[in-house]
Amino acid sequence: MSDYKVHFDLNVLPAEDIFEPPAPLLAGAHVRGLPNYYELYKESINNPDRFWKTVASQLYFETDSDRGLEYNFDHRKGDVFIRFMSGARSNIAYNCLERNIAKGLGSKVALKWEGNEPADSSQVTYQELLDKVVAFSAVLRSKGVRKGDTVAIYLPMIIELPVAMLACARIGTIHTVVFAGFSSDSLATRILQAKAKVLVTADGCFRGNKPIHLKMLADQAVGICLNEGHRMDSVIVLEHLKRVTVPAKAKVPEVLINKDLDVFWDQAVDSVRGVESPVEWNEAEDPLFILYTSGSTGAPKGIVHTTIGYMVYTYLTTKLSFDAQPDDIYWCTADCGWITGHSYVTYGPLLNGMTVVIHEGVPTYPDPSRMWEMVEKYKVTKLYTAPTAVRALMAFSKDLVTKHDRSSLKIIGTVGEPINPSAWKWLYHVVGEDKCAVVDTYWQTETGGHVIVPLPGATPTKPGAATLPFLGVEPALVDHRGAALEGPGEGNLCMARAWPGMMRTVYGDHSRFVKTFFSSFPGYYFTGDGARRDDDSYYWITGRVDDLMNVSGHLLSTAEIESALVLHPDVVEAAVVAAPHDIKGQFPYAFVSLVNGKSLTDTLIAQLKATVREKIGALAMPDIIQEAPGLPKTRSGKITRRILRKIAEGDKGADLGDTTTLIDQSVIVQLWSTRPAVK
Ligand code: 6R9
């Protein structure tokens, strides 16, 4: 492998748009200064096996292996695969817990939980967390769960969520966490696809003033699964509601118990008291979890991560991107229902022995100063959040931020979507008072961990740029013919080589894995994003180039929303496109063609929104639904989404490009004239 060429001449931007690593960070950081990054990067690219071996030596392996990274990205040369340290055996939960306890962290706080109501909080030390994990793993075993089985987890952001994940990991069981904001249909699809026979859930929770009837949704999902002939062995129900403060205006959700299947968490734990539940030494490539993510063709994809590569990668990315230090109080605002909550709430931070804050509520409840109040209360040193939350909070008076002491903060990270420079600068100047490093972390469910990210003590940052590749990662910008661009330019963001933490397959559908990620540009992993590389070799992510949209940092499939809309008997055809939104980044804008004689009344709009909520979840509900007597189509019958996108954007002056291939051009005029006003 030839030397990777990067030049670090940062003279292109005006000086005020380059932010050097803050001096205090530079002094004690794991990676200090750009030359240090460059040196490590070169080693990681030129000697990947030696590099990753050195990283792995910081973790515990029951059985070592002399194998390194092995992969094939080129389907023309054989099956696509990725392996790391084949033959080695380890356990990620053991590395998070016992290994850290053996190093003296037993009485260190591992997790600090704050509820939906600021008055509710609790915490566990590393030893207490281990005890809970061992006990819950014994519960799972008592329900017949074994290595290689799958357990579905549908819980709010509470300590038991990482406990359930770690308990699965301890016994070699594959977890599939389903975000508690997803509908019963979405939960059922995931239980069925992942073949989970045990579901872990809670009675309910509150999100702001809103009660979430989790158990009711879980029951509906289980009902759907049973109807499909699926076998469910057990539903473990945590009684969470009885220990939280009920918001002033909320009603407590009702909970029904199904005697055949349900068992209460606490009782189940009592019943295994004293039972041993030893660690399962998993093989390197044993699956650790499946996490479902939107796919451009509709059905969600079950992304599979395996044991050792994921462990080594989340360990190192957390250590370097957040410059993990022993006295850190680290708060990632993500929910464990998303990959960020897997890699950077649970596994990465606990592998690094950090104290992790988790929050069950939303950043605007009871008021929009909640986030800063929590930073002050817990003396948070590293804060990791999403651009959409930042944009929402920026809209309020600065005083809400400045009235809270934020002097503990050192690093502020963002994830989920490109961060607009104004939000970046607000974090830097207003929240961080020019003293913190702001790190925009680019990665995906598929990549397992950060792949393009500034290192806070090393990389000068530019607002809006994800900057430089993480160690061992080799991005490429590929043109439509599959040729990699040299130097500055814009193209399809691909990866030219594997790194330990990348996904291994799509659960139950390896050919979809190959087709989705490795067939567009043979020899490369294709991210689905576009990116620009500037004169300093910095990467700027420009957004999805496929049919996925990014709403509040969450990827949604236009096809999946369309499928939900056409379930309504009045809808003949639907087309959904992304339209820009000040806070959410994008929102789903739907065009619907109705059956003859029907018109789009407020009632129908409400029904259509409800259908999408029911089938997918509230976050996929289109903000605008427009009636479309006809949709612009090419002669071959393809809906021309680029035209619909312009209409959704309200960009009347836009160049619609070549419209001569359309069957009926008058459709465009009609859609423009009936476009509803955007609120
Ligand atoms: C971690 C996560 C992945 C997609 C990804 C891209 C977008 C995430 C980003 C970003 C620009 C960033 N994305 N982080 N775009 N800058 N820092 O979000 O995973 O839910 O799988 O979404 O999100 O489009 O392809 P996931």
Closest residue to atom 6 of ligand 1, CA basis: 417
| Structure tokens, 649 | 């954007």
**Mutation choice for ligand 1 from 444, 450, 584, CB with most ligand atoms inside 8 A:** 444
Q: What is the model's pLDDT at position 349? A: 98
Closest residue to atom 10 of ligand 1, CA basis: 417
Closest residue to atom 18 of ligand 1, CA basis: 416
Helix residue spans in 232-306 (DSSP H): 265-271
| Structure tokens, 428 | 């830097």
Q: What is the model's pLDDT at position 120? A: 98
Mean pLDDT calculated for residue range 249-270: 93
**CB 335 less than 6 A from any atom of ligand 1:** no
| For residue 368, pLDDT beyond 50 | yes
What residues have CB less than 8 Å from 71, skipping those under 6 apart?
81, 82, 83, 497, 498
**CB 450 less than 6 A from any atom of ligand 1:** no
Give the span between the Cα atoms of 242 and 503, in whole angstroms: 39
**CB 418 less than 6 A from any atom of ligand 1:** yes
Neighbours of 47 (CB within 10 A): 14
- CB 255, CB 272: distance < 8 Å: no
Position in ligand 1 atom list of the atom nearest CA 548: 24
Q: What's the 457 CA to ligand 1 centre distance in angstroms?
A: 23
Q: What's the 193 CA to ligand 1 centre distance in angstroms?
A: 24
Q: What's the 615 CA to ligand 1 centre distance in angstroms?
A: 23
**CB 416 less than 6 A from any atom of ligand 1:** yes
Q: In this predicted model, what pLDDT tens digit does every residue of 512-558 receive, in sequence order? A: 999 999 999 999 999 999 999 999 999 999 988 888 899 999 999 99
Q: In this predicted model, what pLDDT tens digit does every residue of 620-642 receive, in sequence order? A: 999 999 999 888 887 767 788 88
Give the span between the Cα atoms of 551 and 576, in whole angstroms: 13
**CB 544 less than 6 A from any atom of ligand 1:** yes
The DSSP 8-state label assigned to residue 483 in this structure reads P
**CB 219 less than 6 A from any atom of ligand 1:** no
| For residue 412, pLDDT beyond 60 | yes
Confidence class for position 435, pLDDT limits 50, 70, 90: very high
**CB 444 less than 6 A from any atom of ligand 1:** yes
Position in ligand 1 atom list of the atom nearest CA 541: 11
Position in ligand 1 atom list of the atom nearest CA 527: 25
Give the span between the Cα atoms of 374 and 387, in whole angstroms: 18
**CB 321 less than 6 A from any atom of ligand 1:** no
Q: What's the 472 CA to ligand 1 centre distance in angstroms?
A: 19
Give the span between the Cα atoms of 361 and 565, in whole angstroms: 30
The DSSP 8-state label assigned to residue 487 in this structure reads S
Phi-psi region of 331 (alpha: psi -120 to 50; beta: other; left: phi over 0): beta
Q: What is the model's pLDDT at position 16? A: 63
Please tell me which residue, 673 or 298, carries the higher pLDDT value: 673
Please tell me which residue, 509 or 253, carries the higher pLDDT value: 509
**CB 345 less than 6 A from any atom of ligand 1:** no
Q: What's the 80 CA to ligand 1 centre distance in angstroms?
A: 23
Q: In this predicted model, what pLDDT tens digit does every residue of 134-166 receive, in sequence order? A: 999 999 999 999 999 999 999 999 999 999 999
**CB 29 less than 6 A from any atom of ligand 1:** no
Q: What is the model's pLDDT at position 94? A: 99
Radius of gyration of the chain (CA): 25
**CB 160 less than 6 A from any atom of ligand 1:** no
Closest residue to atom 2 of ligand 1, CA basis: 444
User: Containing H/E element for 310?
Assistant: helix 307-321
Q: What's the 444 CA to ligand 1 centre distance in angstroms?
A: 5
Closest residue to atom 3 of ligand 1, CA basis: 444
Q: What is the model's pLDDT at position 478? A: 97
| pTM for this entry | 0.92
**Mutation choice for ligand 1 from 293, 452, 550, CB with most ligand atoms inside 8 A:** 550
Neighbours of 373 (CB within 10 A): 16
Q: What is the model's pLDDT at position 9? A: 45
In the 3-class helix/strand/coil scheme, how is 148-191 assigned residue by residue? CCEEEEECCCCCHHHHHHHHHHHCCCEEEECCCCECHHHHHHHH
Q: Which of 94-98, 414-418, 503-507 has the lowest mean pLDDT?
A: 414-418
Q: What's the 417 CA to ligand 1 centre distance in angstroms?
A: 5
**CB 445 less than 6 A from any atom of ligand 1:** yes
Closest residue to atom 8 of ligand 1, CA basis: 416
Q: What's the 84 CA to ligand 1 centre distance in angstroms?
A: 24
Q: What is the model's pLDDT at position 654? A: 67
**Helix, strand or coil, per DSSP, at residue 202:** strand
**Helix, strand or coil, per DSSP, at residue 606:** helix
Closest residue to atom 22 of ligand 1, CA basis: 444
Give the span between the Cα atoms of 276 and 92, in whole angstroms: 19
Q: How far is CA 575 from the centre of its chain?
A: 26
Q: In this predicted model, what pLDDT tens digit does every residue of 565-580 receive, in sequence order? A: 999 999 988 999 999 9
Closest CA to 483 of 471, 494, 497, 498: 494
Closest residue to atom 11 of ligand 1, CA basis: 418
Q: What is the model's pLDDT at position 1? A: 31
Confidence class for position 15, pLDDT limits 50, 70, 90: low
- CB 594, CB 627: distance < 8 Å: yes
**CB 413 less than 6 A from any atom of ligand 1:** no
**CB 555 less than 6 A from any atom of ligand 1:** yes
**CB 531 less than 6 A from any atom of ligand 1:** no
Mean pLDDT calculated for residue range 72-89: 98
| For residue 14, pLDDT beyond 90 | no
